[in-house]
Structure 1
Amino acid sequence: MEKLLLILVFSIQSSSYSLGGDVLSPLHANHMSNARSPLPIGQRVDGFLRMDKPSRFYFVANGSHDILTLRVTPCESPLFWTLSGVHNKRAHGAGGVNKGHLRPHNQPLHTRTLFSFQGNGEETFTTGVTSDSLYFLDIASLESDTSFQVFVWDHKNQGNLWPQLPNDSQLEITSAEEDRIKLSWKPSLGDGKKINYCVFVNKQHNVKTLCATESNINKMFSNQLKENEGKSSKSLDPAMKTSKKNSNNLKENVMEQKINHDQLSSKNFVGAQKVCVGHWTNATISKLKPKTLYYFDVFAVNSHTGTSLAYTGTFAETKNKHRSQLATLPNDEMVNIFLKSKVLRMMTVDLPAHGDKWLFIHSCLHKVHLQVTVNGKVIISQNIHRAHNFKISGKPKTSCIITLKSSKGGPGLVKILATTAHNHLPFPNLSSDIGFSVHNSTCSSATVTWTGSGHGTKYCIYARHLEQNLDLKLIHKHQNSCLSTNSRSKAERVFCKHAGPHSPRVEKIKDLKPGKTYLLDLYFIGLHNSTIKFPSRVVRTQGWCS
């Protein structure tokens, strides 16, 4: 019987009979570019249409089929398509079509329009099969050359091959920020293990089919490639090779990605991107531009059959970039803060998602007032001098503000380092109680004691002989605890060592001259070339040795 129906197909093409205006309008019979393209039942067919050349397809149903469904999917341009069936009056009700009934020159054939559709969305038509039947599908593109997909399947032998969307298939925007948008959707019905989800984001419009996302990406890539080729056409060969390499990188950026978590990073976002997220029903699209409108579409994809259905798309605009007047402290970088008289300096600190934030704050000249506020609550407020470590706890995205003010009203210098790793602090084991003193001087030595260096800290002691007429008050007034040892003479260095676990530390300085005045300095040297210089101590040796 199928052979007889195929004879009918060839006869229709060579016959002088028209198939009827109701079938082909506005698809005219003399514009058919291919009237003999078969559609297999149970397989997807991918096709391409030129705007001025409609196409005709056919498929044959027989007694082994029960219910057939046809689905047509446009990819770029809206389509007009019509499904018609061959109707023969003598055969109708006779239980089939015989060879004599398939002679178009002896007997006119009648076609009946079963369904027609116009638009850029997927559409289906289902019909019951009671006898051997022949169907024609006529398709035309309405706006431009376009790709499309056609799928005919048999419910009796194949069941429903498509995902089933929930009753509420609307995407929900759960949050919108400066550089990211979060969205969620309800899971599809049926066997969830077979269903994966793909998210498509672009700046132009929503799309209704999964193949439209691929067409958008390919078109965008093609335009970008032409632009790159145009820029490189006047370049020398090496530059042209570089341009080609950049184009390949661009293609990698916009091709489909597959990940298994809900964080979608649109790095190098160039217009459109599709990302498949597995069984997740939520996603975060990050690294977007502030104050920009984006369109979002989600597709449920049957991983066994490759069929897909679109949720109701949505759109959202990222927030405008907040221009804060406060500078943000960088991570693991020493920053110098110069304080003017009676002027507050404020800055923000980003708190980590996990763990704590550590601050190293070193006031070099004199006391400054430090205040740390987290979410409007003051957690630290004190005057500090020299170096201190602080730990700040809080949730990510929490507002953390540091305020500094010179306590004495004069200019000040403060060094600050922020880090999430305790061992990245310049002095991880720095004690809050540090001190330096000199005692037990003899005619040739002096004993020094200090606390707070911490295990493993490098320390150095320097001794300078002072002339009698040197103003000692001037020395004490201009102490800078941030000064390094670079300006000190090697001849003045007594020794450099690493501190052990015991505190306080006691060292004896030898080989001093009797009856002389010395300026003794103690330095702690830590990571990032950081230095803590203690206030200088003056010691005078005994005038004679017993």
Structure 2
Amino acid sequence: MAQKDPESGDVPPCAGDPRPQGGALLHRKRSKAARVPLHLSSEVRSTRAEMLPSWGHCVLAALLCSPLWVAGRLAPENEVPLRPTAWLPEARVTPVPLPRDRTRRLYFTLRKRTATMSVTVSPCDAPIEWSLSARTLKDRPSKSLHWSSKKSMPEVWWRGPGTEAKMYSYTGSVVDTFTGPAYTPASIYILRLRSREKDTSASVYLQEGDGALGAFPELPHDPRVHTVGVGMTSVTLSWVPSGSVLKLPPNSHGYQYCVLVNRKHNYRSLCAAQEAVKKERKKERKDKEQKVTVWPILKEWWWQQWDSLEEEEGPAAPLQDEYPGLQCACRGAESVCTVSELTPDTQYYFDVFVMDVRNGTSAAYSGTVARTHEEARPAVAPLGEGELRWVPLRGDGRHSGQLFSFRPRGWQQSALLTLQNCGAPVATVTVSSRGQVLASQPVGRDVVQIWLQGRSSYLIHLEAGGPVAEAAGAPQGGVKMQASSAYHRQAPPALPPTLQIKSFSKLRGCRSVTLAWLGTEERSLYCVYRRKLADGEQAGADGCLGPESRSETERVLCKYFQELNPRRAVTTATIGGLEPGAAYVFDVYLMRRWGIPVKYHSKTVRTRKEC
């Protein structure tokens, strides 16, 4: 056996090896392996320098003499392909993640004597481009090469010289199928998929030979969802049954319909609906995490490889788990459904999917949209400028609430709203504008004044919250109401401190009486009415009896009065022309151009019999 030269690093060739001796290459190998750390002693470094070259030479000699070395390179089973290779299985639905602007390639071959084939691609939630090509290798690989697996074959065909023929292409967002004869000289088929809009996914199904496609359910000729009836809280839908469902015997559970309801838009596939649910849950979790911690949680983007989308997201949950509150979601093979518990006056989008329970595939009908009816509301009656309106209110459900609209005149957009309760002890008034409540307060026995300003229109809601006690002389229990734009001050007008009327005994005669009452600092008109009582008649206390319901013969006096000092705002009036010894009821009204006239409390006075 020849001896090696430690300086040159030459190694005797193996038996039968026709390759030339590679002294330079072995010298570089020895030089790299013979490096010794500087901190070792010179003796140790010399010893290791003698041992390491001989060990490296033995390994290299074994590698060169191994049968794995073929034509100056390692055998293909130890080679890493330059491109990822994915084989498309036959008769199985294959999910394919599609990162944006990245082409995915799937390879497949057909069995011998296969005449026809079909490829079905179902996009998820975005339009995709896909094409089918057949590649023929000009010179097939040598049969002497023993491949350890079929995974390396497309790499060899792709790198080798050959021709490629394009068989089919499609761009869109609906399920599409290519059906045609096999490409006879083809060595391998290449399916390319690409999404230019966003990251998405698709499902692919390969079938060899003739026959109906059993992977995806069939849609009818009319795949639309029809709206049968619409209510305030429910919508009834119907659709033409799927041919796949009709082919099955009764009470079979191979297919079922799923109805999805949402307020955003229709979905083109069941996968798109599930992806929307995932994104919504991710957003909710992200918002929750940002509220809990100050530092944002970094996403492990380095683990997100281009073909690991399904592993990261996990399998999609069925719709009945995502929407447990929706009725008719995946409820069987009935083609009529009523979705209830909806919100009135709301627009909803309805989608119907027919699902193959065994394969986990689905087909989407053309969805529809419907708006539920709004709730029944009482009619809104316009309230005229300065109009005195009697509003009947009952607590038995009839006329329990009424709505009025009022538009003030003038550029100031201001008005004075006055109300007086007449036999409705639990009445409430609420004033709003464009959905915003401006004022809300009870309406009692006293006159209520509400100043309105700054809005072009107002909605007035009167409501009775209890039983009504009808007032004497009034047609029925209710509220007097008036709105006027003639009052331009920035606050409601002042009312008298008290509405009592006084009479003076010393100033009472046989044919006249003297009355006194408090006024206000504003110039106002006061009118006095009288009514003679019959023998034995009692005067009724009716605070809602206004001057509009009094006879002109009962009015005896009207006078203007104003006193800037409220403590001295007392006015008097002497009423003559009376009969001796007769009883009279006197009423005083504060007359205003705006608002309801204010009625003082009635006063009964009897004249003297003898003077």
| TM-score exceeds 0.5 | no
Larger strand share, 1 or 2: 1
TM-score under structure 2 normalisation?
Answer: 0.40
